[in-house]
Amino acid sequence: MCPKPTNSGAAGSPADGKKPYDWRQEVIDSGSLRRVDLHTGSNGWASPPGDLFALRGRQYFSHRQKAPSGDWLLKPAGVDWLRSPSRLDNVLGRSDNRVAAALRRARALGRAQKTFLFAVNLQVPGGRECHSAVFYFAAEDTIPPGSLFYRFVHGDDEFRNARFKIVNRIVKGPWIVKTAVGNYAACLLGKALTCNYHRGENYLEIDVDIESSSIAKAILRLALGYVTAVTIDMGFLVEAQAEEELPERLLGAVRVAQMEMGSATYVDTRTKAAESTRGSGFRGLAKAAAAMREVARMKMEAAAPYLVMTVTQFCLAGFLVILRSVLAPSAGVSATVVVAYQQLLSALVLSLLALLFDRRQGPKPSPKILAWSAVIGLLQIPLGELMFTTSLRYVTATFQSVAMNTIPVVVFVLAAATGRERFRFCSLGGQWKLWGTLASATGATIVVLLSDRDSAGLTAGDGGRSVGIVMVGVAVLAEATANLLVERVALQYQADLKLSAMITVFGTLQVAVIAGTIERDLSAWRIKWSGSLELLAILYGGILVNGVSYFARNWCIHKKGPVFGSAFSPLLVVFSFLLQIILFGVTEELASIVGSVLVILGLYLLLWAKAKDDMVEQNHPVQASTAEPLLPTES
């Protein structure tokens, strides 16, 4: 495959006779994209040091700590920038591939007998021509049996798709590219894009079809429009998903510096001779127009999470208002029965979603994971959901929505107290977190102490209101604790829907036992079909809120991150307040409104400071030792 290797008289070639044949140096020097200086080079590639990449450190699953990767596990073996009439698949399997040919020559001379090639082929879609950026790496010794990379090479495609990760760093580029790609971003390529794995006798090639994702294709086309101004680092690794697989190590990394599209070498996929040609100006204009259309489509798709999160918060607010009406003292409906029916429906919906979308994700749950699921189920449903639901007999939906907005703040306090969250009091970020926490606590106190005590439809008296406040407090603490545990367990069992279904099933069984103990009269279990919203509340809560909305929230968080999901929770207060006024004529006093604003302000301060800390941590990883191998090798 063009370009041709260096001539036979070059130093280090088999014909030289004076120096041993260095096949790897030959393929590095003869690539279609030349090797350049790491700091000043352009239209070429270089090898960035592994310490520029922040990967999962040895204590990641306990403290979420990342560390510099250290040296790569594999050595660089050149880069090809190719174009062809059709998509190039299995590049290392082609008879004209220069890297495979050089390794064959070395083996014929009795050298590199244990060398294993690893290649990543990023397939760039085009109009009349397709492009491929092929990055080659080599392991010069036998891959240790039992190591994570060994399991990746010899595993099936399902295992590879769940583990193959890329980490990108924009070293230099215009702001529009940094905004679209992100200064530092990690992605499981096997889950985001279609990856085809080609396993040969002495190689593994991963062909990444960028066209398989419309968003990835649009972002790439946007980046290609500025490609001569962009320098990007790409690191490839196998994701560690268990504590014994830590710390993560880069398989290899490459820096592509201000590449020129026209420098691609032409490869005829019909085995014709290679040639070097450039696209016409008209073809370039057509590609630019197509890229603009894709960017417009990308913007529409990017707006979807904002709409989905807004609708989700509105649905939850509507549910709280409906539930408050159903649980009015005059209605005679049991809160425990309503929650039991809701959670039964929720368990069925989430189990069905897990069966459809998450069936092949994650291993069989261990007894430890099942035990933690039962504990989290207890916190989320009997102590969380049931307490929240029952408290609506005594407090308004707005009061409860304000309390829900304090959950992220309580999570932060618990995480800082247990060492899960680093809190630097003297730093600017630490000060913002502190002020955000204090603002939320002050707002919640105002709502509790000074808000209206005689809202229509609630159980009268300060005693009943005090019971409701205690229930809400227990629910907030339980939900916050559950969130901390879920985060930790999800790192050990990475199948979100299956884990959620297990938690819901355990919680449903527990709340069913509680409901059966409290409500022994069968009449309490009969659903009122007429003159009541009980059936609507059960269906609404079980299917829409705990089922579909849960799936939608997870989708948004997967697309935009956890901070994005939390940032929309203040809308719950606004929607609850408006719906109570429109449907029931229930208004809130000025003190309640002021307290709600303080809670929301504190939440946003905390989220902003947390986002800043995460950005700093990604760009300046914690220094830690990564001298030990990815997995212990056999002695």
Mind listing the pLDDT tens digit for each residue in 495-531? 777 888 899 899 999 999 999 998 888 888 888 766 6
Q: 237 with 366, same domain?
A: no
Model confidence at 577: pLDDT above 90: no
Task: Please give the pLDDT value at position 626.
Answer: 36
CA distance 450 to 594: 10
CA distance 235 to 222: 21
* Assigned domain for 620 exists: no
Q: 559 with 446, same domain?
A: yes
* Assigned domain for 220 exists: yes
Q: 340 with 237, same domain?
A: no
Q: 429 with 510, same domain?
A: yes
Q: 248 with 308, same domain?
A: no
What are the tokens at 107? Answer: 């083996």
**376 compared with 581, residue with greater pLDDT:** 376
**136 compared with 178, residue with greater pLDDT:** 136
Task: Please give the pLDDT value at position 634.
Answer: 37
Instruction: Give kind and range of the element (H or E) at residue 516.
Output: helix 496-518
CA distance 218 to 618: 25
Task: Please give the pLDDT value at position 612.
Answer: 67
> Is pTM beyond 0.75 here?
no
Q: Mean pLDDT over residues 221-250, rounded?
A: 84
Question: In percent, how much of the chain has pLDDT > 70?
Answer: 73
Q: How many domains does the chain have?
A: 2
What are the tokens at 570? Answer: 């203040």
CA distance 274 to 280: 18
- When mean pLDDT is compared across 127-136, 476-485, 496-505, 574-583, the lowest value belongs to 574-583
* Assigned domain for 470 exists: yes
Q: Mean pLDDT over residues 402-430, rounded?
A: 74
CA distance 72 to 138: 11
Task: Please give the pLDDT value at position 137.
Answer: 96
CA distance 73 to 247: 13
* Assigned domain for 9 exists: no
Model confidence at 467: pLDDT above 50: yes
CA distance 473 to 378: 16
Q: What is the pLDDT of residues 286-326, one digit of tens each?
A: 545 555 555 555 556 666 777 887 788 888 888 888 887 78
Task: Please give the pLDDT value at position 541.
Answer: 82
Model confidence at 456: pLDDT above 70: no
What are the tokens at 375? Answer: 């504990």
**535 compared with 448, residue with greater pLDDT:** 535
Q: 500 with 418, same domain?
A: yes
Q: Give the best-scoring range by mean pLDDT among 62-71, 121-130, 513-522.
A: 513-522
- What is the separation, in whole angstroms, between the first and last Cα of the chain? 41
Of 507, 220, 486, whose CA–CA distance to 350 is shortest?
A: 507
Q: Give the best-scoring range by mean pLDDT among 408-412, 430-434, 538-542.
A: 538-542
CA distance 188 to 352: 25
Three-state secondary-structure class, residue 121? strand
| C-alpha of 525 from chain center | 41
Q: 597 with 474, same domain?
A: yes
* Assigned domain for 558 exists: yes
* Assigned domain for 28 exists: no
Task: Please give the pLDDT value at position 349.
Answer: 85
Q: Mean pLDDT over residues 266-293, rounded?
A: 52
CA distance 218 to 124: 11
**E strand map for 193-238:** 194-199, 203-209, 231-238
Q: Quick check: 554 and 360 in contact, CB under 8 A? A: no
Q: What is the pLDDT of residues 587-635, one digit of tens each?
A: 666 767 777 777 778 777 777 776 666 555 555 444 433 333 333 333 3
| Cis ω before 621 (30° cut-off from 0) | no
Where helices occur in 41-125 by DSSP H, the ranges are 60-63, 98-108
SS3 letters for 543-559? HHHHHHHHHHHHHHHHH
Averaged pLDDT of the chain:
77
Q: Is 7 exposed, middle or buried (0-12, 13-18, 19+ CB in 10 A)?
A: exposed
The count of C-alpha atoms lying within 13 angstroms of the C-alpha of 487, restricted to the half-sphere facing its C-beta, is 18
Model confidence at 363: pLDDT above 90: no
Q: Quick check: 601 and 439 in contact, CB under 8 A? A: yes
Task: Please give the pLDDT value at position 280.
Answer: 43
- Domain interval for residue 67: 34-102+115-279
State phi, psi for 281 to the nearest 5 degrees: -65, -40
Task: Please give the pLDDT value at position 630.
Answer: 37
- When mean pLDDT is compared across 79-88, 119-128, 203-212, the lowest value belongs to 119-128
| Confidence class for position 542, pLDDT limits 50, 70, 90 | confident
Three-state secondary-structure class, residue 302? helix
Q: 261 with 355, same domain?
A: no
Model confidence at 8: pLDDT above 50: no
Q: Mean pLDDT over residues 334-360, rounded?
A: 84
Q: Mean pLDDT over residues 319-336, rounded?
A: 78
SS3 letters for 427-446? CHHHHHHHHHHHHHHHHHHH
